[in-house]
Amino acid sequence: MVIILVGGQWGDEGKGKVIDYLAEKADMVIRSQGGNNAGHTVITEHGEFKFQLIPSGILYPHCRCIIGNGVVVDPIVLLKEISQLKERGIEPNNLIVSERAHMVMRYHPLFDQLEEEARGDDRLGTTWRGIGPAYADKIRRIGFRIGDLQKEGFMRKKLAFVVEQVKNPVLEKLYGKPAYDWESMLDEYLQYAKQLDPFIRDTFPIIQEALDQEKKILLEGAQATMLDLDFGTYPYVTSSNPTAGGALTGSGIPPTKVDLTIGVFKAYTSRVGYGPFPSELTNEIGDQIRERGHEFGTVTGRPRRIGWFDAAVARYAVKLNGVGVAALMRLDILDDQPMLQICAGYEFRGHRYDHPIANISHYKHCTPIYEEMAGWEEEIGKAKCWEDLPANCRDYIDRVGELIGAPIQLVGTGPRRDQFVTRGPQPFD
């Protein structure tokens, strides 16, 4: 059985917790896009774990964890994550990195930063992790794949070319920065090669075998639908396709093998970085939710922009990804709000839209159409089942489900592993 998990808003929906819940029952978890711009948090009885590259399933020794071909891997970050796990007594014997995955090279974060600075007021608000430049090089066919680490002669020749002919001229002439010495870079990468060697594999036969044996496979999405390179608020997006289609190309799983797509949504909306955000709250309510929800970026520490739940965004995500089951997370963060609003659609120049407007200059200036609902004003963190939730809270969940067009079968009521309320049949059961 294959399940794709996608973020339905602008990221940080609480995907890490849902992945952890599903990974317990999965045989294999695959990450298929993005890189260490992602940050998934899982809280277990052994404390808090933050993952940027390694699939969260690593905490379950029975679960094979694959960093798929569509991911861009910074080997420095990956090695650090591996050693942090080892320090906490977790041996990542179940980790596999696709030899086709591209690397974020030493120069990519620098170019990310320099390009952002050069954009001035038009900057995108990237994470400066080199993600965009690494994907750009992959498309330009001057990228390095993880498997290249195992081919010293190839690395030597290609690094000399890319650094001397492509990167250094721009660095020196355009940005007035010191050039890179490709030979010392090669030595550094050969060190990484030795350390990463046990994890690097061709993942095609491994994944195909798991499909043949009808194993339970979870495709773990990073980022989210509204950050999708094609369907998000371009150019204020990430450089990969976090939608369901990207999960397939990023892993090599054919569409005919997918059984279910799960959409993860947060009970309100947040966004890091710039770009349109119609239901944004730039008032006290937004500040209260940010504080109560500790809405500061896992990767960059930046305060996240906060807004009401945008059902037009979520419905768009449901349709684009073919979401069959939805998870509504972080509902407890709204516990103390006396009144809640849900954005049901937008109005722009006399027209009503029930989905995000493709033209982002129009999207930026549209007016949200809100529905108002009474809050529940009590703590829901101890709820064990649907009936334990206050009536107003159940009404809110039901209305959200109706508006987005997908059944909400998982509800997040707090940060801990056990703070979940489930409804109906559960995926992988």
Q: Which residues bind ligand IMP (CB under 6 A)?
A: 11-12, 37-39, 124-127, 129, 131-132, 222-223, 227, 236, 238-239, 272-273
Least CB distance to ligand IMP at residue 230 (A): 14
Q: Is 40 known to be catalytic?
A: yes
Classify residue 284 as left (phi > 0), alpha (psi -120 to 50) or beta. Answer: alpha
Other residues' Cβ atoms within 10 Å of the Cβ of residue 95 = 21
Angle between helices 107-119 and 131-140 (to 10 degrees): 110
Least CB distance to ligand IMP at residue 34 (A): 6
Least CB distance to ligand IMP at residue 129 (A): 5
Query: Which residue in 229, 322, 297 sits closest to 6, CA to CA?
Result: 322
Query: Which residue in 270, 404, 382, 409 sits closest to 328, CA to CA?
Result: 409
Residue nearest to ligand IMP (CB): 273
Rounded to whole angstroms, the Cα distance separating 366 from 370 reads 13
* Residue in 20, 27, 40, 112 annotated catalytic: 40
Q: Which residue has 């990228």 as its token pair?
A: 143
Least CB distance to ligand IMP at residue 227 (A): 5
Rounded to whole angstroms, the Cα distance separating 264 from 425 reads 17
Q: Is 12 known to be catalytic?
A: yes
- Residue 222 or 317: the one with the smaller Cβ distance to ligand IMP is 222
Q: What is the largest CA-CA distance in the chain?
A: 66
Least CB distance to ligand IMP at residue 132 (A): 4
Asked if 58 and 51 count as a contact pair (C-beta separation under 8 A), the reply is yes
E strands, 303-380, where? 305-307, 309-310, 325-329, 339-348, 351-353, 367-374
- Residue 64 or 304: the one with the smaller Cβ distance to ligand IMP is 304
- Residue 133 or 147: the one with the smaller Cβ distance to ligand IMP is 133
- Residue 123 or 158: the one with the smaller Cβ distance to ligand IMP is 123
- Residue 38 or 327: the one with the smaller Cβ distance to ligand IMP is 38
Rounded to whole angstroms, the Cα distance separating 274 from 387 reads 40
Catalytic residues: 12, 40
